[in-house]
A and B are shown apart, each in its own frame.
Chain A
């Protein structure tokens, strides 16, 4: 648990963070959300003492960070800066190995750790270990940045808009990837963003900041249901209808009338399925879905199988709709970070949900 206790950072002509008190729970993602210049980066950097506060205390698991050696403190915390900041003169392996190297690990152990982490962030070690940062795409760099922050297995991760400078599609898949990672690793993450969609998708709790102060901290649902003031309402409740889709997680609105079958089962007994929709899953691979009604009219079963998009359960409805519209597919299968199928979504369904919410 990280506790910020009336932390203030004052510069000569400006108070960047103003009496901020905040409790960040373990093993969850806490988002710092707020407009540009509201003090998010400053807050993050005070936790690892890159910036010393003017007053106030910060404790990690009850110990004041000011009682710790700042160098050791930083080595024990994973940090992803706003610009990623991979070192261009080190290979990917060298970058991942920075903190382990500072901690005195041997070469072999660092190599093994780097391989392990690249696997974890879905980059083939045999390809990427020897690559130079300038040979990486934006998305690959971000993954390596996350791997580097995880290198020495820190309990606490500080991430400053780690997926900021990247196109929306890659951004979405990085967010999905990060959620899967977190469901395995369960780290204490402080994640800065000014993207509301990202906050709602990733955040277990969202701390909303304004002018260096904490306005409100709560779960997404609680924030939506009981916004503390007009600022929060404005920030979250972008009043135009389409933007509202940003505020709802796909998982909460899926159509659960489906059954899962293997292709073989569907061939044999699909017609007798209870649900109107059959999702075909062979092992880990979800190959498509079939509307039960079509099974009787189609001669070739393969023809009845529809392709679909996969959307993370944490994704916002806006992301689900965008994905569907971009792909031109009829339905999205909504899947949990651990692979469980939660249900399906289609554009007409979302329209209906919005109509209900509007009322």
Chain B
């Protein structure tokens, strides 16, 4: 059997794994995004900028920690199952988003904030209408990194009993079925590519065209 025949014959089970996989990734990405955005915004406020710069340093380095390590560590505390996987992915996925949000917000030129404030924007309006739009390119890049990492790391989470597409690959590995390994890999890769393409489209509509002009 080749990978496509395997997929065709086992579609009901496979589609259930796809849903599981997307579910884990979806929840984890949403959690990372909320936490990363909120934290990133908080640490980039004028009074906390020292903390912000420290966070940028730490998260910059933390991105070098392998994702498997976080899953293994969470397993020690919360045991097997998808819950552990989602928590581990959420924590791990915060890092690129927090890094990008805080570094981009810290880089918003002071004269932009000042012009906005001087024209009578409230601090919230300055954030929503000036700071976040100016940082949007970088925020979207962080989100895309997190999604890609989560899609691939969720596969590994199969070893702690989280389910998802990793199951197909690891079962294939234990019974030496290259078609299964291939099928699982193809699915994970497709999801990664597809979600990135969708996010790229989203990025295009979210980021102002005025920012992509080089001057």
Residues of A in contact with B (beta carbons under 8 Å apart):
45, 48, 50, 71-76, 79, 81-83, 85-91, 98-99, 102, 132-135, 148
Contacts and interface: CB of A to CB of B under 8 A. Distances in A.
B47 interface: no
9 contacts: A74-B118, A74-B120, A81-B114, A81-B118, A87-B130, A88-B208, A89-B210, A90-B208, A132-B213
Given A81-B111, A85-B112, A99 B213 contact: no
A250 B133 CA distance: 47
A82 B209 CA distance: 25
A91 B211 CA distance: 10
Interface string B192-214: 00000000000000001111011
Interface in B113-161: 114-122, 125, 130, 133-134, 136
Contacts of A81: 111, 114-115, 118
Interface string B78-120: 0000000000000000000000000000000001101111111
Nearest to B132: A89
A318 to B, nearest CB: 31
Interface of B: 111-112, 114-122, 125, 130, 133-134, 136, 208-211, 213-215
Given A88-B210, A98-B116, 19 more contacts: A50-B114, A50-B117, A71-B121, A72-B120, A73-B120, A75-B119, A76-B120, A79-B119, A81-B111, A85-B111, A87-B115, A88-B134, A88-B208, A89-B130, A90-B210, A102-B119, A132-B209, A133-B210, A148-B119
Residue from A71, A74, A81, A87 having most chain B Cβ neighbours under 10 A? A87
Contacts of B118: 45, 48, 50, 74, 79, 81
Contacts of B214: 134
A150 B21 CA distance: 55
A130 to B, nearest CB: 10
Interface of B is mostly: helix
Nearest 10 interchain pairs by C-beta: A85-B115, A75-B120, A89-B208, A132-B210, A74-B120, A134-B215, A134-B213, A79-B118, A83-B111, A89-B133
Nearest to A72: B120
B110 to A, nearest CB: 9
B111 to A, nearest CB: 4
B115 A89 contact: no
A88 B211 contact: yes
Nearest to A87: B130
A102 B121 contact: yes
Contacts of A88: 134, 208, 210-211, 213
Contacts of A133: 210
A99 B120 contact: yes
Contacts of B121: 71, 98, 102
A176 to B, nearest CB: 25
Contacts of B134: 87-89
A37 to B, nearest CB: 18
Nearest to A50: B118
A6 B3 CA distance: 83
A87 B121 CA distance: 13
B115 A135 contact: no
A71 B112 contact: no
A50 B126 CA distance: 14
Contacts of A48: 118
A86 B214 CA distance: 15
Contacts of B130: 87, 89
Contacts of A98: 116, 119, 121
A98 B125 CA distance: 11
A74 B122 CA distance: 10
A276 B130 CA distance: 60
Contacts of A132: 209-210, 213
Contacts of A134: 210, 213-215
